[in-house]
A and B are shown apart, each in its own frame.
Chain A
Amino acid sequence: MWILLVVLVAAVAAVLRARRTNMALRRRNGDLQSDLTAAQADQHRLHMENTAQRNQHANELAAVRKDAEEDTKAVLKSAMRTLQLLADEQQLIIEKAQKRYGDDEQVLADLMMVDHTNSQFGRRAQGIAVLCGGWLGRREAVASVYDVARSAKGRIKHFDRVNIHNQVNVAVASKAVEPVAVVLAELLANATNYSAPGTPVEINIQSVPTGICLIVDDAGLGMSQEEKDRAAELLSPAAPIAITALGNPPKFGFAVAGMLAARYGFKVSVDSVSPYGGVRAVILLPEDLLTTDVPQPAPEPAQEPYQQERTAPPQRLTPVAGGQSGAERGVDRSLGTTTGGLPKRRRVGPVAVVPSPPEPQPEPESNSELTASRIGAFQRGTQLGRDTTTTEGPENQ
């Protein structure tokens, strides 16, 4: 019996102890629970702070980057402007040299190579300038779509691979002449660079209901979907393009095309496949960038200095019709032909070998000096007429 009692007492004691321990544990648990809540609140607060700081940091970094990008662009833009002007200046010099030494086919061929290299150089400078928010340089005259395509062709390295098929007789408005030529040149550069050497690149110019399409087809490997997506992004840019995002060495082509298309209001796409398996790039020029005006080349400023240099032209070579110049100028048919079949040439100025005295001289015969000078002038005139090594045209001096 007493054993049972002892066991009972021990059991009660054990239960009491367990209960006390349990109570203590519960209390401890409650404490820990509240600690945990506090810690969680702390953590949340810290997390918020961290996020805020990270956002602020990102914003500041973006602002700094944007500033740096803008600074870089501003510097590059002015540097490119200098290069563009130099390339333009050099182009004029080469042009004059080509006309001056045009009779020597070897010199002319070399000058043409220099001109070709200079054109490519100019295009690069223009491209970078455009990406930096700069300008191309303005053409003062409208140009036929065909001439725009030819001009574009001249700005790439392998221009001899490019063939132009033209079915339209429309001109591009003067403000769009240079941008369209630059964009087309970039597309042609891509087409020739990403297709096998020697394969042709075709330009087809077609009329569509909303304007004119310039279609560039190459026989390369085409582009992957990823490349097409990237190109589409660059060709219709939502925001200014960061030049540092174009890779190193940079790929300017699509970025330049996209910037110019957005600025002047035409469309460029490269998402179709050419019949030759390569890329088909399409420029769509809307009606408002086109004109049906006959291209009127700007009056040639180079004419004036030449005429001033020749103070006593023995004979004016060209029947200069005012305002007309270049390939568009034809012979004035109203002049007709001589019986020998030679075209009659209009004499524009007086034949001024012997400058006529402004007023009748009272005694011309008695003035032996005057007579001598006239004879001299007359002889110089006939000598000039006989001298076949002197060519008279302003282009052939």
Chain B
Amino acid sequence: MTAGEEEPVAGDFVRAYVITGGRRLPSSDELSLHTLVTVGPDKELPLGASPEVRAIWDLLSGGYLAVAEVAAHLELPVGVARLLLTDLFEQGLLLRRAAPPRAQSVDRGIIERVLHGLESLYG
């Protein structure tokens, strides 16, 4: 019998429920996918932060990111990222602001004129 018989295991080594510690997840109303979050000015990463919180801290130190983006970067379910962000937020370490407003619908005529303009430039 050799070690070659071992099948590789691909699943995440640390499971999501361990990261949350089995705690109740915050509702999506509390921190929507589009809410932008960043690290508050002059705030320090709390001591003993988990690797996930450290990764969030590094991500957000560069500026605002949407909750959905934080989750995607960390490759975590959104609900888990939301819980970690809520923790940081409740400790007063994060700033957040509402998602940017939706773009207004644009008149088809304008789009056509823009396209024609672009085509006359580059076509």
Contact = CB atoms under 8 A, between A and B. Distances in A.
Contacts of B45: none
A102 B8 contact: no
A150 B9 CA distance: 17
B71 A102 contact: yes
B52 A327 contact: yes
B46 interface: no
B68 A391 contact: yes
A395 interface: yes
A201 B28 CA distance: 33
Interface in A333-362: 333, 335-338, 341-343, 361
Interface in B72-96: 72-82
Contacts of A337: 62-63
Contacts of B7: 84-85, 88, 135, 137-138
A365 interface: yes
Contact of B25 (A84, A108, A328, A382): A108
A133 B5 CA distance: 12
Contacts of B22: 112, 116, 159-160
Grouping DSSP codes into helix (H, G, I), strand (E, B) and loop, the A interface class, with mixed when no group exceeds half, is helix
B74 to A, nearest CB: 6
Contacts of B75: 99, 300, 325-327, 395
B39 to A, nearest CB: 11
Given A159-B18, A395-B72, A135 B5 contact: yes
Interface residues of B, number: 64
Contacts of B27: 105
Residue among B26, B27, B75, B103 with the most chain A CB within 10 A?
A: B75
Contacts, number: 196
Contacts of A175: 3
Contacts of A338: 63
Nearest to A317: B72
A181 B111 CA distance: 59
A138 B6 contact: yes
Given A364-B123, A395-B75, A330 B58 contact: yes
Contacts of A181: 13
B14 interface: yes
Contact of A104 (B3, B14, B79): B79
A226 to B, nearest CB: 34
B43 interface: no
A393 B18 contact: no
Given A317-B72, A385-B103, A396-B71, A139 B17 contact: no
A341 B18 contact: no
A103 interface: yes
A333 B62 contact: yes
A143 interface: yes
Interface in A13-71: none
B90 to A, nearest CB: 16
Interface in B1-32: 1, 3, 5-22, 24-28
Contacts of B115: 371, 374-375, 378
28 contacts: A92-B11, A95-B16, A98-B77, A99-B77, A102-B71, A102-B80, A104-B79, A105-B28, A108-B25, A108-B80, A112-B16, A135-B7, A154-B14, A154-B18, A327-B74, A327-B75, A328-B55, A330-B55, A331-B58, A337-B62, A341-B38, A375-B111, A386-B103, A391-B33, A395-B76, A395-B78, A396-B33, A396-B71
Q: Which 8 A-B pairs have the closest CB atoms?
A: A102-B77, A393-B72, A330-B58, A102-B78, A105-B25, A91-B11, A112-B17, A137-B9
Interface of A: 84-85, 88, 91-92, 95, 98-99, 101-105, 108-109, 112-113, 115-116, 119, 133, 135-141, 143-144, 146-147, 150-151, 153-154, 159-160, 175, 177-178, 181, 300-301, 317-318, 325-331, 333, 335-338, 341-343, 361, 364-365, 371, 374-375, 378-379, 382, 385-386, 388, 391, 393-396
Given A330-B58, A396-B78, 5 more contacts: A85-B7, A88-B9, A335-B62, A375-B112, A382-B103
